[in-house]
């Protein structure tokens, strides 16, 4: 639906007010990263400084947490890409017994509160005698990343005409060629978008991670510790700002990728 | 001479649905063969069985004498023009057309030259760099055809290829397809639900209903001598009347009588006019003869009787056709 | 393009290569193909994940020995009885009230944003609305909580803003109220509510906007053509059509609030929510059966909720 008439004034104010509510707290992070105040959250900041950026860059614990988060996000995204795409292809392309169940199963890890996923995985790990490691974090993350990839891929599979696969095979492409030359190029942007969002989600996850990390520290766990028992507020401010900047870029990229995809993939109809 | 495609007792069942049921069929080499029928009649499934997208649940399929059951689409020297063209959206026109050669490992320069040639054949030379999305419906149709022809297939399958085009373009493409088919001497198998299209283009027509072939014959056979009430009705909406009324048989047989064969005749039998519909060249009359409804087409220049009037009509019994089966 | 070779075979010989042959075989057996595609997900989600959920469920029927603190592996409803004690029942009711309040507030706040973005925003505005929703959605959860700690702090921007507008009396009045008030915003239910609302609001906006975008503009024109006032066409046309989107959004806002244990821990008073209760019971208290029983509450609530939402067609709006 789109209208060429102008919005009622009340609606416009409500909408813009809503936007301010959504964006202002994030903007605030950027100001606090430069405040000279170390002990409280005083507003307005008594003075501005860039020294805390340098201090943060020199902190080994921050770097280690960041490295672990990146590693976990990369592996879980890869796993999610494989499982999510396979499942999406099966659900979108064929009818089989249990198809409905699978599409429900996939959204379960995000439909149920994270704490439930966390505690049940933790009890499963202890039941199976699996010690906590990077891999237990990865498994927890992959569980809910799958749905992100799945949603993106299934939408693209549905938009991409099934006749394209028929056409490729009809023209002499075998299964491998059909996948590489026709299927993959058509779903690539959806996978890239889904992958980036899954990465962002994993990079940020804290609730499930607190149950599956043991005593390892990902960046969100580091943040959580700072929030519960603040030790060095200025460093936390800077880390918070860095995290915001890092998440903005994939969002913008994903936006442009999926927007273009809607034009190309649907054009055969 | 070997037939291009033969079906012997071919069935394709989906669970309890008999999409194609014990079909026997022989498509001759070099002919333009139409499969005509309403949606769900099994004609498209038959086409997909020839292409290899579907495998038969029973029976035997041969393509130029070679067994084809279980052979995947990419090992069949048969190519398809798809209903909505199915052009690859991520490739330009030239790469679309060249696809068949690319997967066979033909080098870039050679396959592009062949694709240009193929585009020339469908009068689209110079369109290679465009994207499928930038073309009109008629042009996409031609690209799909050029793409199907590049592999030099033995049989070309066309799945309602003109369905998405407007009337004028459709008539033009019908003519061109027919010309191209004659020039190449290829076997074309053409699926359509449009009886005019089937009758005007095809050498022979197979009429499908309920997963079975109702009748196979030349266009004239199908039209003049429908084998069943279904064929008579579906192809050219004939009057199906008791044979004794038509004047060709006894009362428990049925005959087909084409509306255009009924003429206004002062010496004919009495008929009540229940409706008149002006169609430009002709006027359609709904008639009632002793409780039997009939449709007649009379040239528009003749004086049309009014609704409720009684008029007199007749027909040449030789134009009526006694049908073999009623159903 | 001359010379269609009529002597060429109609059926080609299969190409070699073990990979191609394997893929060929799989393609020729569609059932096998589908089976292989859904095998990994079935193994992981269907067996490990669901298995873990069931194991958790089973634990809730065990109990803990009060003296030794050891889990007794015998079927009993004792733990569920414990769940109904006033202290624990309070936790459950508190959480459900919070989730309901957050969901309603999110729907009210999301609607104008989604409606404006779907119907009026274009070009630059459209992009701004997209960023405005996506940025808070994908920003780090903890960063968002942290940002609100900054906003709500006693010495923070909100107090300052109220002072500048000479409205300090209003803030003080709000904080002096029972239940929702407190020492400062950051240790009150109002604060907890605001943070929840902020964090889950994008999850409401997106499905509502999606469902509104699917409403043809002509429908509203038809409604006003038939004599409906703007209020009537909202109530009788727009709202019913947006409802699946609102329900889809409420699945997120409700479920996420039910299970969260970090927000009330950082912003709020010391009274527990379900998530915190689960965390403490399984962690420091070591009472796994009670923790499991607590998790059954949101599972049951969400089960009923999802079932109802499915009936109302909310899954199509996701």
Per-residue model confidence as pLDDT tens digits over B134-169: 898 889 999 999 999 998 899 999 999 888 788 888
Looking at residue A95, its pLDDT comes to: 75
d(CA C170, CA C176): 10
Is residue C10 in some structural domain? no
Assess whether B200 and B251 both reside in one domain.
no
| Residue corresponding to tokens 């938009």 | A159
What three-state secondary structure class fits B321? strand
Residues ≥6 apart with Cβ < 8 Å to C274: C91, C92, C95, C258, C259, C261, C294, C297, C298
* Domain boundary, last residue among B210, B230, B250: B230
CATH number of domain containing B36 = 3.40.50.300
User: Which chain C residue lies closest to A110 (C-alpha atoms)?
Assistant: C252
Say if the Cβ atoms of C259 and A113 lie within 8 Å: yes
**C31 CB within 8 Å of a chain B CB:** no
Does A113 contact C40 at a Cβ distance shorter than 8 Å?
A: no
* C194 and C248 co-located in one domain: yes
Q: Which residues of A touch C136 (CB under 8 A)?
A: 22-23, 25-26
pLDDT at B132: 84
State the chains in contact with C (3 or more Cβ–Cβ pairs under 8 Å): A, B
- Give the residue, B6 or C235, on which the prediction is more confident: B6
C12 located within any domain? no
- Predicted local confidence at residue A72, as pLDDT: 95
How far A29 CA lies from chain B's nearest CA (Å)? 42
What is the CATH architecture assignment of A60-264? Orthogonal Bundle (1.10)
C218 Cβ under 8 Å from any chain B Cβ: no
Query: In this structure, is residue C77 part of a structural domain?
Result: no
Q: Are residues B64 and B22 in the same domain?
A: yes
Q: Are strands B5-14 and B17-27 parallel, antiparallel or unpaired?
A: antiparallel
Residues C153 and C31 in one domain: no
Q: Say yes or no: B249 and B205 in one domain.
A: no
Please count the residues of chain C. Answer: 318
* Statement to judge: residues C39 and C126 lie in one domain: no
CB of C58 less than 8 A from some CB of A? no
- pLDDT at residue B116, as a whole number: 94
Are both B315 and B199 inside the same structural domain? no
At A5 the pLDDT is: 66
- Per the structure, the count of domains in chain C is 2
Polymer length of chain A: 269
Shared domain check, C286 and C146: yes
Cβ pair C295:A119 closer than 8 A: yes
pLDDT at residue number A260: 53
Q: φ and ψ at A94, to 5 degrees?
A: -140, 160
Please check whether residues B190 and B155 belong to one and the same domain.
yes
Cβ contact A167–B102 (<8 Å):
no
Neighbours, chain B (3 or more CB pairs < 8 A):
A, C
Q: Do the Cβ atoms of B63 and C1 come within 8 Å?
A: no
Residues C107 and C237 occupy one common structural domain: yes
Same structural domain for residues B226 and B252?
no
The last residue of one of the domains, among B230, B249, B266, is B230
- The answer as to whether B235 is a domain residue is no
pLDDT at B9: 94
Please state, in angstroms and as integers, the Cα–Cα distance from residue C71 to each residue in C63, C277, C290, following that order.
Answer: 6, 18, 10
In chain C, residues with a C-beta closer than 8 Å to the C-beta of A96 are 31, 34, 38
Sign of the alpha-carbon torsion through C294, C295, C301, C307? negative
Listed residue (C170, C147, C166) closest to C157, CA to CA:
C147
Q: B179 with B116, same domain?
A: yes
- Selecting from A182, A264, A269 the residue whose C-beta is nearest the C-beta of B84 gives A269
Residues of the domain holding C49: 18-54
Distances (CA, A) of A114 to A50, A75, A221, C260: 37, 20, 15, 7
Closest CA–CA distance from residue C305 to any residue of chain A (Å): 10
Q: How many CB pairs under 8 A join A and B?
A: 85
**Predicted model pTM:** 0.76
Q: What is the pLDDT of residue A67?
A: 93
The domain that holds C268 is classified in CATH as 1.10.3720.10
Q: In this predicted model, what pLDDT tens digit does every residue of B202-231 receive, in sequence order?
A: 999 999 999 999 999 999 999 988 888 889
For A163, which of B84, B104, B132 is closest by C-beta distance? B84
pLDDT > 70 in chain B, percent: 99
| Pair (C43, C168) in one structural domain | no
How far is the alpha carbon of A60 from chain C, nearest alpha carbon, in Å? 20
Which distant-in-sequence residues (6+ apart) come within 8 Å of B125 by Cβ? Answer: B116, B119
- How many other β-carbons are positioned within 10 Å of the β-carbon of residue B104? 16
Q: Are residues C158 and C284 in the same domain?
A: yes
**Which residues of chain A make contact with C217, given a CB cutoff of 8 A?**
1-3
Q: What pLDDT, on the 0 to 100 scale, is given for residue B51?
A: 93
**The pair of three-digit structure tokens given for residue B102, joined into one six-digit string:** 């690319």
Does a structural domain hold residue C4? Answer: no
Average pLDDT of chain B is: 89
Chain B within 8 Å of C5 (Cβ-Cβ)?
yes
What is the H or E stretch that residue C186 is in? none
For chain A, which residues make up each domain, given as ranges?
Answer: 60-264
What does the pLDDT read at residue B118?
92
| Partners of residue A181 in chain B, C-beta under 8 Å | 99, 102-103
| Predicted pLDDT at A265 | 35
- Closest chain A residue by Cα to residue C238: A1
Q: CA B38, B44, B49, B55 torsion: positive or negative?
A: negative
Could you tell me how many residues make up chain B? 327
Please check whether residue B50 lies inside any domain of the structure.
yes
Residue environment code for C263-273, b if the CB has 16+ CB neighbours within 10 A, otherwise e = bbbbbbeeebb
Interchain contact B133–C (C-beta under 8 A): no
Tally of structural domains, chain B: 2
Chain A residues in contact with B132 (beta carbon < 8 A): 267-268
| Closest Cα in chain A to C53 | A120
Residue B123 backbone phi and psi in degrees, to 5: 60, 45
Region of B83 (left: φ > 0; alpha: ψ -120 to 50; beta: rest) is alpha
Low-confidence stretches of chain A (pLDDT < 50) are: 261-269
Of C147, C256, C288, the CB nearest to A28: C147
- C48 and C146 fall within a common domain: no
Name chain A contacts of C133, Cβ cutoff 8 Å: 22
pLDDT at B326 (0 to 100): 62
pLDDT at A2: 62
Residues B80-126: tens digit of each pLDDT: 999 888 899 889 999 999 999 998 888 999 999 999 999 998 889 88
B166 and B123 both lie in a single domain: yes
d(CA C171, CA C186): 13
Judgement on whether residues B207 and B129 belong to the same structural domain of the protein? yes
The pLDDT score that the predictor gives to residue A267 is 32
Burial label, B251 (beta-carbon count in 10 A; 0-12, 13-18, 19+): exposed
ipTM value for the complex: 0.80
- Nearest Cα of chain C lies from the Cα of B183 at a distance, in angstroms, of 10
Residue B21 within any structural domain of the chain: yes
Where residue B281 sits, what CATH number does that domain have? 2.40.50.140
Look at A268 and B86 and tell me if their CB atoms are within 8 Å.
Answer: yes
Verify that C22 and C139 share a domain, yes or no. no
Per-residue pLDDT of chain C (318 residues; tens, 9 = 90+): 445 555 677 788 776 677 777 777 777 777 788 888 888 888 888 888 888 888 888 888 888 877 777 777 888 888 888 888 999 999 999 999 999 999 999 999 999 999 888 888 777 788 888 888 888 888 888 899 999 988 988 888 888 888 888 888 888 888 888 777 777 888 888 999 999 999 999 989 988 988 888 888 788 888 888 878 888 888 888 888 888 889 888 988 998 898 888 999 888 888 889 988 888 888 777 788 888 898 888 888 888 888 887 777 656 555
How many other C-beta atoms can be found within 10 angstroms of the C-beta atom of residue A269? 12
Contact C11 B68 (CB under 8 A): yes
Contact A167 B84 (CB under 8 A): no
Examine the fold and report which residue of B196, B212, B230 is the final residue of a domain before the chain moves on. B230
> Does the beta carbon of C70 lie under 8 angstroms from any beta carbon of chain B?
no
Instruction: Tell me if B327 is assigned to some domain.
Output: no
For residues C151 and C127, give the distance between their C-alpha atoms in angstroms, rounded to a whole number.
26
Q: Chain B contacts of A166, Cβ < 8 Å?
A: 51, 53, 73, 80, 82, 86
Size of interface B-C (CB pairs under 8 A): 49
- Cα B243-B244-B245 angle, rounded to 5 deg: 90
B295 inside domain: yes
Instruction: For residues C31 and C121, state if they share a domain.
Output: no
Mean pLDDT value of segment B19-35: 94
Nearest C-alpha in B relative to A260: B90
- Boundaries of domain holding B99: 5-230
């Amino acid at each position: 639906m789109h209208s060429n008439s102008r919005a009622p004034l009340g609606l416009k104010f409500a909408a813009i007010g809503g936007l301010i509510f959504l964006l202002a707290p994030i903007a605030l992070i950027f100001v606090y990263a430069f405040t000279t105040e170390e002990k409280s959250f005083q507003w307005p900041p008594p003075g501005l400084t860039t020294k805390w950026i340098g201090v943060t860059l020199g902190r080994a614990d921050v770097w280690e947490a960041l490295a672990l988060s990146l590693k976990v996000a990369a592996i879980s995204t890869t796993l999610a890409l494989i499982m999510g795409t396979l499942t999406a292809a099966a659900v979108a392309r064929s009818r089989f017994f249990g198809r409905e169940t699978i599409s429900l199963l996939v959204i379960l890890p995000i439909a149920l509160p994270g704490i439930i996923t966390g505690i049940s995985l933790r009890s499963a790990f202890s039941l199976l005698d699996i010690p906590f490691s990077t891999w237990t974090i990865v498994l927890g993350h992959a569980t809910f990343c799958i749905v992100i990839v799945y949603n993106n891929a299934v939408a693209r599979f549905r938009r991409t005409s099934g006749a394209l696969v028929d056409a490729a095979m009809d023209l002499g492409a075998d299964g491998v060629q059909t996948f590489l030359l026709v299927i993959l190029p058509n779903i690539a942007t959806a996978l890239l978008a889904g992958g980036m969002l899954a990465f962002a989600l994993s990079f940020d996850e804290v609730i499930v991670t607190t149950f599956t990390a043991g005593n390892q520290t990902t960046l969100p766990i580091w943040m959580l510790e700072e929030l519960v028992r603040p030790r060095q507020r200025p460093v936390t401010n800077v880390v918070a700002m860095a995290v915001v900047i890092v998440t903005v870029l994939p969002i913008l990229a994903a936006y442009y990728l999926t927007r273009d995809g809607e034009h190309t993939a649907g054009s055969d109809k | 001479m070997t037939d291009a495609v033969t079906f012997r007792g071919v069935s394709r069942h989906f669970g309890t649905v008999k999409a194609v049921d014990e079909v026997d069929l022989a498509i001759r080499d070099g002919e333009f063969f139409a499969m005509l029928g309403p949606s769900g009649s099994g004609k498209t499934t038959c086409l997909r069985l020839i292409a290899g997208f579907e495998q038969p649940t029973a029976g035997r399929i041969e393509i130029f004498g070679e067994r084809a059951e279980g052979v995947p689409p990419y090992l069949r020297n048969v190519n398809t023009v798809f209903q909505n063209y199915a052009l690859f959206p991520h490739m330009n026109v030239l790469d679309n057309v060249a696809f068949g050669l690319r997967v066979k490992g033909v080098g870039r320069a050679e396959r592009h030259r062949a694709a240009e040639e193929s585009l020339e054949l469908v009068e689209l030379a110079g369109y290679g760099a465009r994207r499928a999305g930038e073309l009109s419906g008629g042009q996409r149709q031609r690209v799909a055809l050029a793409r199907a022809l590049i592999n030099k297939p033995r049989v070309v399958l066309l799945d309602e290829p003109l369905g998405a085009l407007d009337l004028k373009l459709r008539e033009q493409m019908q003519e061109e397809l027919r010309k191209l088919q004659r020039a190449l001497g290829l076997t074309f198998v053409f699926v359509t639900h449009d009886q005019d299209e089937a009758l005007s283009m095809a050498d022979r027509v197979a009429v499908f209903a309920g997963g079975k072939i109702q009748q196979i014959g030349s266009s004239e056979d199908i039209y003049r001598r429908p084998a069943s009430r279904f064929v008579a009705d579906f192809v050219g909406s004939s009057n199906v009347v008791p044979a004794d009324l038509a004047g060709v048989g006894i009362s428990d047989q049925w005959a087909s009588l084409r509306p255009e064969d009924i003429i206004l005749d002062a010496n004919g039998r009495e008929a009540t006019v229940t409706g008149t519909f002006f169609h430009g060249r002709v006027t359609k009359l709904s008639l009632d003869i002793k409780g039997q409804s009939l449709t007649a087409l009379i040239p528009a220049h003749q004086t049309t009787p009014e609704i409720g009037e009684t008029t007199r009509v007749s027909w040449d019994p030789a134009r009526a056709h006694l049908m073999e089966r009623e159903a | 393009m001359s010379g269609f070779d009529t002597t060429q075979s109609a059926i080609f010989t299969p190409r070699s290569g073990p990979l191609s042959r394997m893929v060929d075989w799989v393609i020729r057996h569609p059932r096998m193909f589908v089976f292989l595609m859904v095998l990994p997900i079935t193994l992981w989600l269907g067996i490990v994940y669901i298995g873990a959920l069931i194991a958790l469920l089973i634990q809730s029927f065990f109990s803990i020995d009060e003296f030794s603190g050891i889990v007794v592996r015998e079927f009993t409803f004792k733990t569920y009885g414990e769940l109904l004690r006033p202290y624990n029942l309070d936790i459950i009711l508190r959480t459900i009230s919070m989730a309901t309040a957050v969901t309603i507030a999110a729907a009210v706040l999301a609607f104008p944003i989604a409606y404006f973005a779907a119907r009026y925003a274009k070009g630059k505005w459209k992009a701004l609305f997209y960023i405005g929703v996506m940025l808070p959605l994908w920003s780090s959860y903890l960063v968002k909580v942290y940002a609100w700690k900054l906003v709500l702090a006693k010495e923070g921007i909100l107090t300052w803003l109220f002072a500048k507008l000479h409205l300090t009396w209003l803030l003080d009045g709000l904080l002096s109220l029972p239940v929702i008030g407190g020492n400062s915003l950051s240790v009150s239910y109002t604060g907890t509510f605001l943070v929840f609302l902020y964090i889950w609001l994008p999850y409401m906006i997106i499905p509502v906007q999606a469902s509104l975008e699917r409403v043809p503009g002509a429908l509203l024109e038809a409604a006003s053509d038939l004599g409906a006032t703007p209020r009537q066409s909202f109530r009788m046309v727009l709202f019913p059509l947006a409802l699946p989107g609102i329900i889809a959004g409420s699945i997120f806002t409700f479920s996420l609030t039910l299970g969260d244990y970090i927000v009330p821990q950082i912003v709020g008073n010391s009274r527990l929510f379900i998530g915190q209760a689960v965390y403490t019971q399984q962690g420091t208290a070591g009472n796994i059966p009670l923790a499991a029983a607590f998790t059954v509450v949101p599972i049951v609530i969400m089960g009923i909720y999802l079932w109802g939402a499915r009936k109302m067609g909310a899954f199509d709006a996701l």
